[in-house]
Amino acid sequence: MSNILRRGRLEAAPDEEILRYTSSMEADRWIFNADIAVDLAHTVMLREQGIINEEDCSKILSGLLKIREEGMEKLDFSYEDIHISLESRLIDMVGEDVGGRMHSGRSRNDEVATCIRLTLREELTGLLEEIFALRKTLVTLAGKHTETLMPGFTHLQHAQPTTLAHHLCAHEAALGRDFDRVLDAFSRVNLCPLGAAAFASTGFDLNRKRTQELLGFDGLLENSMDAVSSRDFLIECASVFSNLMINLSRMTEELVIWSSSEFNFIELDDTYASTSSIMPQKKNPDTAELMRGKTGVAVGALMSLLTICKGLPLSYNRDLQEATPNIWRSVETARISARVMEGMVRTMKIHTDVLAAQSITGFTTATELADTFVRETGIPFRTAHQIVGILAKEMEKPTMEKIDSVAEFVLGESLSSRGLTEYMVKEALNPVSNIKRRKIVGGPAPEEMQHYLGKRQTELELNEQEITTLKDSIDSAFETLLEVVDEYRKI
């Protein structure tokens, strides 16, 4: 092999071990299609600027399309990266006098930065779709359970009664913020570094706006040094993916706990379970557990990126080659986890009878009882808190007689003498009445939940349109690029 990159400055061929150590070819599988697109757009622009002639442009474009059709496996993996391997393959096809002109005015530095952004924006739009699908499933499921009682928890102990809809919507709200973060990150990813060359731009009269448009970017990274050396967008995305995975891991933790014999709130579909090699009765929530574990992949990728990028002087440094495999692992983990979670939630069996029965255990209505004392008798909340705390220590369901006894101990008078009735106590201890009373914004009352779900549905419709707009914009740019390529190939 005559190495088109090393043959001028370097005499010795790279040692095989060093080549394996420094090669990014395997990780570059992620950016194969993006690299072809970048080469096509750059070649079109070179022709339009008069830097290469029409005939050479036609041959280069035809060669690139042939390489795309052949696939990455036809490339020479003895090169250190896909960019040189692809260029070498092109030169083999059309000759160096033609193919050797494609790289005019360009460096691998701006080339790879552009390829990463092209690929990552595709992954981001896919992730938006997957988060959207999960949120839609949660909202749909919540709509069926606005009156399904369940215990709410703090410190994993029964705290207050709530509804399953209220609980599911808490997770959906967090995922909604994840969606917004991905969308926000997209705006900084979808900027074009192409034309920055090594870091100081180029003396060739390139039209950077033209390649930006052909590749469907929203704008340019104007400073050429920043364009090739910045990987803050990778750190931002890795942080977004980590946050999403942490939110998903909270959900998986609950699925694991809720599917246990001790809770028995749900049963996961067999698709997402496994059994034991020795204990035939076991149905283990392995998929949920693995998702909980895979959160470490995303968080680990973020830590790696932060460490790799720390302290790098401007402009480009080869350390950055180690950054990209981390972002691909992270986004792949996030995407498949969101898809799998949607399936687990959609297919799980909910034991509503168990949820309802558990909603009143552990004196979950204690807060409402204290609130009732305040509203109906006028005593301070802290005093009511003390009375109910004493009652909770002694019994789970207090009687009117016991309430008065404790009140006399604390206040020196009974609460019945201040207007509290047995009916008021009964209503306070009733979980259904308890929840219906909580109808302020964001509360679990069925009436409020219906209003809330309507707002979430409206937001989902807007989000769906945002996804469609992004995808249409990218697809339209790619179609335009191919149309121009097809036109210039015929000359």
Task: Tell me the catalytic residues.
Answer: 155, 276
Interior/surface letters 132-169, b for 16+ CB within 10 angstroms, e for the rest: bbbbbbbbebbbebbbbbbbbbeeeebbbbbbbbbbbb
CB-based contact 200:228 (threshold 8 Å): no
CB-based contact 443:3 (threshold 8 Å): no
Question: Whose CA is closest to 388, among 373, 370, 368, 402?
Answer: 370
DSSP state, residue 274: B
H helix intervals, 31-160: 32-48, 54-70, 82-94, 96-99, 108-143
Question: Whose CA is closest to 223, among 113, 59, 307?
Answer: 113
- Helix 82-94 and helix 108-143: axis angle, to 10°? 120
Tokens describing residue 200 = 């100081």
Tokens describing residue 379 = 């005593």
- Phi then psi for residue 160, to 5 deg, are -145, 150
CB-based contact 160:228 (threshold 8 Å): no
- Phi then psi for residue 192, to 5 deg, are -100, 120
Cα(469)–Cα(490) distance, integer angstroms: 32
Cα distances (Å, whole numbers) of residue 27 to 37, 325, 339: 18, 6, 23
- How many CA atoms, within 13 angstroms, populate the side-chain half-sphere of residue 130? 23
Tokens describing residue 383 = 């005093």
H/E run at residue 158: strand 157-163
Cα(141)–Cα(168) distance, integer angstroms: 8
